[in-house]
Amino acid sequence: MKDFIASVLTDFATGYNIMNRSYREFNDRTVIEQMDADQKAFNNYVPPRSDNPDESWRAQTIRPVTRNKIISIAAHVTSQIIFPNVFAQNDRDQEDQDAASVMRDLVEWVVDNSDYSRQFVYAVIGSLVNPATIVKMEFAEAFRLIRTRHANGTITTKEALDDIFSGFITSIVPTDELFIANIREPNIQKQRFLIRRRFIDINEANALHGK
């Protein structure tokens, strides 16, 4: 167990260093600093007025050129591929239309029963703004204790499925929350380790992971 904990801590330190190391591709900024700079540009950040009298007279206005271009690109992308298409082949590399139709129905059902559409738009905008975008999709079942008062005055408790926190969940993982082993590897499946450092409300954590 000590060796396992030590290896986890070593990987955590590796991921932390990757996030806080400067890169030439980011104009010698770290990943965190580049995210901050890109998000300020997208949100039309106006820096505080200078205390220097020779500079303070200058206008602080910023034209939303970057923001408008990003929103335009995102609108064109999402209008074309917001619902993924499915093509299937059998073991002889022949098109299997029946299997593809079934899978398309399943994908459509997942999209209709999750927050996929909105999160997809966020993912596209995030890809245009941040150094990277990570989309996470999972199926969760969360239960809550429900108290029921009976006619005789007794109270019983039972577990009930929480419709809000259960089902297919699509979420955007902020770039600074995911620690990876190799920043040069774009395929997340080939990363030696993935560590997510996430801050959530304690009640939400109990609902999702109480057991």
Give me the residue label for tokens 């019983």. Answer: 156
The C-alpha atoms of residue 167 and residue 202 are separated, in whole angstroms, by 20
Quick: pLDDT tens for 11-61: 999 999 999 999 998 999 999 999 999 998 888 888 777 777 777 777 777
**Residue 197 to residue 177: CA distance in whole angstroms:** 5
The radius of gyration of the chain's CA atoms, rounded to the nearest angstrom, is 24
- The DSSP 8-state label assigned to residue 92 in this structure reads T
Is-contact 105 155, C-beta < 8 A?
Answer: no
Asked if residue 82 has pLDDT above 70, the reply is no
Per-residue pLDDT reduced to its tens digit, 114-169: 777 788 888 899 989 999 888 888 888 878 888 888 888 788 888 888 877 777 78
